Structure 1
Amino acid sequence: MKPLQDIRILAIEQYGAGPFGSVHLADLGADVIKIEEPHSGGDVGRYVPPYQQEQDSLFFEVFNRNKSSIDLDLAAPAGRRVFEDLVRVSDVVYSNLRGDVPAKIRITYDDLKHLNPRIVCCSLSGFGMTGPRRAEPGYDYVLQALTGWMDITGEPDGPPTKSGLSLVDYSGGLVAAISVLAAVHAARRDGIGSDCDVSLFDTAMAMLTYPAIWNLNGDFHPRRTRHSAHPSLVPFQAFPAADGWFVVACPKEKFWANLAVAIGRPDLATDPRYATFEARRTHAEELLAVLEGIFATRTVHEWLTELRAAAVPCGPVNTVAAALADSHTAAREMIVETDHPRFGRIRQVRSPVRVGGTTPEYRRAPARHESADRVLHGLLGYDAATVEELDRSGAFGRPRTAQP
């Protein structure tokens, strides 16, 4: 069996953060059933350009592989009936809605425990289910600004800068996935489910880590650093070579000693101004000027060859295309393929989660309502007449001319 093959998750999710958390659970074998709102066209991720046609997009693919889909109008009594029947045979109700919405649409633990005492209700929202901002929509960009990330990202003389990736969204999704696994474990042990109140705000604040503790317990004020330098360790930043950029990191004294030898300046390692972490931090400006002058004399490839031979942590500043083509990417089997009826053979990055030696299987993301037959007939045991009546009653949105 796959690691999570015995877990069923009802995912009321869309776009990035929520689907990013549940896709890793789906990759591990969990039965993730996306409940898509029929009147608005389902998950908005289906319509994200540039690689998008009708209700399919490559954006949607990467967040929703290995999942199932069913249209369900939770506001309609017939749709609510189907949802409640699904709760009875599931382990988790997982959502990424505004913090005030789960209670409004009755998908909290108190709302559902009479149907299934072991149900886990995980809400991933922008600001959580409590607090003054709970009713505000939360998006990665907004959270990066609000929690101080943008203030410490970018060049010192440049504007506040967002990360090139939606790291708050992705981290929030992973925190939600961890919360789900912990809550399911507790529910199976104790026989009682729970709410998981996860927020992007909490996630982004928690990721402030050491700058936060330095600020809360001292006079440290994080600031943007030149060439993405570490706030206290020197050298630990990007450097320009003769033909591009690369990163050098010396988080241990031995790496600094090795670096000094590799660049032909062993004297720097013993110079009292640079001999320790604190000394290099104090004299960072003059030391970095020396290093930049040396690194500018040779190519990135030449320096990486020297530094790797000296066991100094380093790497090129790759483009995304170069990173995807890296030999280590191939060796780690990080690119997987799926077949799609519209886009053909799709290549995408796999989940980094690895359990045991089994390679996960990957199948394309579902079309809207594609899994209705499996869910309604196979899982819930509805007969054709019941499904037809649910359809006429608006359970799946507008009545359909053909029902599975």
Structure 2
Amino acid sequence: MLDHIEEEFPAHTSRPPDAPKALQGIRVVDFSHFIAGPFATMILADMGAEVIKIEPPGRGDDLRRYPPVHSGLKLGAPFLWTNRNKWSVALDLKSPEAVEVARQLIATADVVVENFSTGVMERFGLSYEECCKLKPDIIYCSVSAYGREGPFADRLGFDPIAQVESGFVSMNGYADREGVRALSPVMDISTAMMACNAILGALVARERTGLGQAVEVSLFDNAVLMTGYATMQHLFTGANPQRHGNTSPDTCPSGVFQAEDCAFYINCGNDKIFQRLMSQVIDRPDLAAADVYATGSDRIRRRDDLFAILGAAFAQRPWSHWQMRMRAAGVPCGRLRTVGEAIRSPEARDRGIVTRIPHDTVGWVPNVNSPIRYSRTPIADPIAAPAVGQHTEIVLRDLLGYDDTSLARLTEAGAFGTRMAKTIAEDAKT
């Protein structure tokens, strides 16, 4: 595992050392776990915010155990993917002493993020109202399944449930079988992006008004948005979207075709692209000018005929031939790739999407870089996801001013759990 990382991926190129960061000086106390919350806070951390991740002692965020787990890292690839550039503080929030530490951290923060089940933060005494008493201008972001109020506030929610209940799954797959979920956690990722946007908007509003606010993003609300314009199409027509496999219900010819050596996708989004495809790529100007193929609606009605013509042509030559011609003609196309092929592709290498970053235990770990590119405030250099509670002592000492006596008192009270208690006790002796 990761044996060939030095051969396959370049080391990360550091940002200019004197360049400012977009969110420099912003502190986030992050109580979230799994994907939607942590991915949102990771984006903030990439932008330069100081993100302090609060985790249960010992076991930490449950996502740490999602496979494959690296024995040297003692965490899994999904956790590494969504928790870079953060500090981990291990607190047992069932302990009043640990809750008090959390309250002190919140009092120094700009943003709080949480995605517990509804009512959990209230039981800890860390509701929005309580946090406002600690920091009146706090921005408090809750990522929930179905909202924090109403008859469904108690429901648990995960990405696949949001996919099926929003109608998203009903749209995807083939007409002769049930809908298919997306394997990628698209609802978690998009909810995280929406939460990050909401937090950034609240920070701008606070800059203008001096006031913080509660922010809420629901996984279900976002999942309905992720059905795209199909929702509005349904409201116009009353019809539900049908499953079309790899073809498009709105444009034609759009879909998967087979070259001599591999499969690829074409997206003919308008009439001009179709005309260029027929006249410049497969040398059929007669079809480009044919009245029966003049509009998208015409072509959709004759999809089978068009696909047969194109399929016969494409099968005669390899992908390299067709890619060159379609690129020259301005026809959007792409080869069907595996994930491994995609991250090792020329496009990915040119954009520096996957790099390697140093790690104290295992030497190097892979990193999937942020797609955000700033010209004046470059994204922060990536630091690998932390071990559980890795920064507990340094955060409490440096940010809150705790001394050995204070740490010993909290240790004795069980605020840090048994593992962290042992570490702090050993440090105090040396």
TM class, shorter-length: over 0.9
Q: Report the secondary structure of 2:417's partner residue.
A: coil
Q: Tell me what 1:252 maps to.
A: 270
| TM-score of the superposed pair, with normalisation by structure 1 | 0.94
Deviation digits for residues 88-139 of structure 1, max 9, x if unmatched?
Answer: 1001110122244333434332121111011111011222212332212111
Deviation at 1:177, TM superposition (A): 0.7
- Residue of structure 2 in register with 1:308 after alignment: 327
1:401 and 2:422 are equivalent in the alignment: yes
Partner of 2:305: 286
Could you say what the CA RMSD is over the residues aligned between the two structures, in angstroms? 1.8
**Change in 2 beyond 3 A, CA 1:296/1:28:** same
Q: What's the offset of the Cα at 1:301?
A: 2.2
Q: Secondary structure at the match of 1:292?
A: helix
Question: 1:339, CA displacement in angstroms?
Answer: 1.9
- Determine whether 1:120 maps to 2:139: yes
Note the C-alpha offset of 1:359.
5.4
Check the 8 A contact 1:211/1:220 in 2, yes or no. no
**Which residue, out of 385, 390, 401, partners 2:410?**
390
Mean CA deviation greater in 337-346 or 262-271: 337-346
Could you tell me which runs of 5 or more consecutive residues in structure 2 were left unpaired when the two chains were aligned: 1-19
Identify the match of residue 152 of structure 2 among 133, 138, 155: 133
Residue 366 (structure 1) aligns with:
386
Matched, 1:327 2:328: no
Question: C-alpha deviations, 1:3-55, integer Å up to 9, x for none?
Answer: 1111111111222221111111111111010000226x111121122233373
Partner of 1:190: 209
How many Å apart are 1:58 and its aligned residue? 2.5
SS in structure 1 at match of 2:24: coil
CA distance in 2, matches of 1:342, 1:159: 46
Letter in 1 for 2:296: F
SS in 2 for 1:34: strand
Structure 1 contact 109–193 (Cα < 8 Å) conserved: no
Equivalent in 165, 183, 187 of residue 164 of structure 1? 183
Code of the residue aligned with 1:311 in structure 2: it is: G
Tell me which residue corresponds to 1:153: 172
Query: Equivalent residue for 2:86?
Result: 67
Structure 1 residue 243 corresponds to structure 2 residue 256: no
The code of the aligned residue for 1:136 comes to R
1:49: which partner in 2? 67
Q: Tell me if structure 2 keeps the 8 A contact 1:73–1:397.
A: yes
Which amino acid in structure 2 is aligned with residue 108 of structure 1? Answer: S
> How many Å separate the matches in 2 of 1:173 and 1:43?
17
What runs of 5+ residues in structure 1 fail to find an aligned partner? none
The equivalent of 2:31 in structure 1 is 12
Identity between Structure 1 and Structure 2 (%): 34
More off after superposition, 388-397 vs 110-119: 388-397
TM-score in terms of structure 2 length:
0.89
CA distance in 2: counterparts of 1:237 and 1:13, whole angstroms: 39
- Alignment partner, residue 204 of structure 1: 223
Aligned counterparts of 2:362 and 2:233: Cα–Cα separation in 1:
49
Count, aligned residues: 402
Distance 1:402 1:123, change over 3 A: same
The answer for the alignment partner of 2:399 in structure 1 is 379
**Secondary structure, counterpart of 2:322 in structure 1:** helix
State the shift of 1:299 in Å.
Answer: 2.2
Deviates more, 1:117-126 or 1:181-190: 181-190
